[in-house]
Amino acid sequence: MNQITVARLSKQFKSVTALRGVSTVFEGGKIHGVIGPNGAGKTTLIRLLTGLLSPTEGEIIYDFDGEKRKFSEVKDITGYFPQEPSLYPDLSCKEHLEFFRDLYVIPQKDFEERAKTLLEATGLTEFLDRPAGKLSGGMYKKLGLMCVLLNRPKVLLLDEPTIGVDPISRRDLWNLLNSFSAAAMTVIISTSYMEEALKCAKVHVLSDGKLLRAGEPSQMMKELNLKKFEEVFFYERDNKS
């Protein structure tokens, strides 16, 4: 099974320590949530996983098809969705999809099938000719996610994609992620929305650059005898030795 292992990962930015010895495992074919408040180190971890940053200490092991690989060997099967996707405001939804079709060198038949599936899943079919700059915030993010998913990556890394998105678009984004993770895609999504933790198969809880806990969210709450997921942070604070 494919998986990504993070071992003793630390990242220092001058006087700021963003991550402090984080070790965890992201198993394949699941939706993983990197959960924590602002400043917890979520974006730093996602950017390290994408190869945009290099760790100060520790390592990231990409175990694909039974072989340990460097990020340079898996980047072509990895999709990255930043907090603010960079789309072209004057290009329509259709033109964006065609641009990424050419970028990924996707055969026309495959492109048509994938685009149809994604458009139906996001509800953007009737907005094909609308420029990206005239889309609502939720539709803009859904278009950006569609462009990433066109290439059918095996690993999808998303940095707080639901921030600033209306509830309906948030639901649509999660439905889209669930449908693709079921197709053996590994999804790693960071969020500061505590209620989104329960939408994940496994959560990795960060605070002040440290990993507090990792595991299945409802089981974690049961073990700690908690009613709400955000209480995990209070539990760790109150029981800190």
pTM of the model: 0.92
Question: Whole-angstrom Cα distance, residue 157 to residue 160?
Answer: 10
The total domain count for the chain is 1
Tokens of 203: 């959560």
Is 95 within the bounds of a domain?
no
CB-based burial label for 94 (10 Å; 0-12, 13-18, 19+): middle
Is 149 within the bounds of a domain?
no
CATH of the domain at 207: 3.40.50.300
**Contact (Cβ atoms closer than 8 angstroms) between residue 4 and residue 22:** no
- Domain of 47 in residue numbering reads as 3-84+154-238
Is 96 within the bounds of a domain?
no
Tokens of 191: 């969020």
Is 118 within the bounds of a domain?
no
> Model confidence over 8-51: pLDDT tens digits?
999 999 889 999 999 999 998 899 999 999 999 999 999 999 99
> Model confidence over 105-125: pLDDT tens digits?
999 999 999 999 999 888 899
**Residue 222 half-sphere exposure toward CB, CA atoms < 13 A:** 6
Is 97 within the bounds of a domain?
no
Is 213 within the bounds of a domain?
yes
Q: How remote is the C-alpha of 47 from its chain's centroid?
A: 10
Angle between helix axes 108-122 and 167-181 (nearest 10 degrees) is: 140
**Which residues contact residue 173 at a Cβ distance below 8 angstroms, ignoring those fewer than 6 apart?**
141, 142, 145, 161, 162, 165
Amino acid identity of residue 150, one-letter, is L
Is 124 within the bounds of a domain?
no
> Model confidence over 45-64: pLDDT tens digits?
999 999 999 999 999 999 88
Is 211 within the bounds of a domain?
yes
